[in-house]
Amino acid sequence: MVLEGISHISGFNDCYAYNKDELIVNIRTNKTIKKVTLYADDPYINGCSTSAPWDGQPFEMQLKYELKHEYIYSVTVKPKYKRLQYYFRLTDVNNETMVYQESGIVTEEEFKKNLFKEYFKFAWMNEADISVHPKWVENTYWYQIFPDRFSREEAPFEGNLSKWDDLSSFGHNVFYGGNLKGAMNRLEYLHDLGVNGIYFNPLFVSDSNHKYNIDDYLHIDPNFGSNVDLKLLVEKAHSLGIRVMIDAVFNHSGLGFFAWKDVVENKRKSKYYDWFYINDDENFTITHKSTKDSRFYSFAFVDNMPKLNTNNPEVMEYFVNVCKKWIDMWNIDGIRFDVGNEISHAFIKKLHSELKAYRRDIFLLGEIWVNSSQYLQGDEYDSVMNYPYLENLSNFYLDKSKSADDFKYAVNFCYSMYQKQVNENIFNLFDSHDIGRMYTRVNNYDYFIQMLVILSTLPGSPCIYYGTEIAMEGENDPYCRYPMRWDIIEDKSRDETFRQVHSLIRMRIDNHEFLGDDYRFVQTEGRFIVYERNGIRIYLNAEENDRAVSFGKEPEVLFSYKFSDGILKAGGALVVRL
């Protein structure tokens, strides 16, 4: 038997409680393992003595995910007494069997001979340890708004404004005057589009157009409006059935933040000195220069974003109270945490504990670009921005040598990273303010539509970036932040794209079959992909040739692009209820 690549830990994502009754057990193996049986029971079912007989009941494990070089088998059990002791029996393609216990893999003979069995054990299904998220997130289709670029209602503005359609001097220091009143006046538009969640990039006092260097966390930037404006916007959004999430930048502040200003003035005598990471008392106030010299730590060596010490209890307490004030002032539904993997675990745990006690259904989203399972064990974030999903699935469309099997492996990899309940509300996206727009990236309208079908049908809580509904273009930052093309909306030149996106959003929200994390691949051949979700089947033809599609009986068509008379044309997509 090939033993490499077989692994399991009794905890984390390998063994965890899905709810108070069900325990999910996963094991990774190499591809020579064709069968895995879990033997499990309560550890004390026949007594507490180590000499008490114990065999375990057999549970056949199912192949949950196939990756390029490994399998992941899974089974859900219901421990009657909330405890579970277990081991695995492995069978390979040559019908050889071995036993996997906590100390390693042994032959059947060794296992029987050993007096002390090194069983795996899940000690107790404590409800407080179960990862639970707000259920409303599962059926939320998000729309991300970069405030300065979304919509402008005439209002006073400090500084120079560019004309909405003038891109001649576009850059990081250009302001277009988008504001909260402008966004509020577009809420009916968003309601008509079908989205039921808005994620706003930072709204607070800052001298930049992106507002990620915040000077005052308790006041809306005057160029965006006022605290009252946000209150009115949230109230109106809620009346239209739209949730609102705002951006929290607690990894770093701006240079105008009161604590940093006090440190600049008083240096080590400042009571806020330990709120930051200052390494050179004499030179840390130098500006307009990279912080690679380590005079102080900052975000990405940017000198106007000094890094906050989120290990400091005073910093933790201050920003927890900031969040509570946001909830009180504006009745927001979610908070997205910028640079979510650089703030301390201790701080995130405190945020989770106190904010969930303050408002049970608040949604806590982390911005992390890599596997984030350590932050998703139930006591930190509810979800993260799923950049591995964006990157891996985009690669299928950027590299035509990749096959449908490669697509399957990529999808399975993304969902194998997390617990089942996390996958149910994982924040899926294909573009944002930090990365080039989806349509520009693939430079192919057919692929653009297929990616929107994927976004709308795979497990998770999908999000589109403002303008995606009209296939707005833009390379990486800052060019992915062009002003919203309201002229295109008004001249109706891309109405067909708007209708397609609207149709996909409504399909996703209106059909409960898209909830949960279950999916299965039905066919992967060439670059032709078929997968299914609870009786709804999705077809994607990423080939250069047409494909015939047949059904046992006439299905209900939920979405169709380049499909007619049983033929899915090259580049087409189809979603049907069987």
DSSP string, 365-399: EE--SS--GGG-SSSS-SEEB-HHHHHHHHHHHH-
463: part of which helix (H) or strand (E)? Answer: strand 461-465
Burial of 172: CB neighbours in 10 Å, binned 0-12, 13-18, 19+: exposed
Other Cβ atoms less than 10 A from the Cβ of 444: the count is 15
Q: Where are the beta strands (DSSP E) in 97-193?
A: 97-101, 104-107, 120-122, 142-145
* Alpha helix positions (H), 22-146: 108-113
DSSP code of 40?
A: E
* Alpha helix positions (H), 256-308: 258-266
Angle at which helix 313-330 crosses helix 345-358, to 10 degrees, equals 30
Angle at which helix 404-416 crosses helix 387-398, to 10 degrees, equals 180
Tokens for 508? 């996703």
User: Cis peptide before 156, with omega less than 30 degrees from 0?
Assistant: no
Angle at which helix 445-457 crosses helix 387-398, to 10 degrees, equals 150
How far apart are the C-alpha atoms of 234 and 184, rounded to whole Å? 9
> CA-CA distances (angstroms) from residue 420 to 24, 232, 515?
9, 37, 12
How far apart are the C-alpha atoms of 301 and 294, rounded to whole Å? 9
How far apart are the C-alpha atoms of 406 and 417, rounded to whole Å? 17
Are β-strands 216-220 and 204-205 bridged in parallel, bridged antiparallel, or unpaired? antiparallel
Residue 541: phi and psi, rounded to 5, are -105, 95
Asked whether 275 and 263 are in contact (CB, 8 A), the reply is yes
How far apart are the C-alpha atoms of 343 and 122, rounded to whole Å? 30
Are β-strands 197-200 and 142-145 bridged in parallel, bridged antiparallel, or unpaired? parallel
Indicate which residues carry an active-site annotation.
Answer: 338, 367
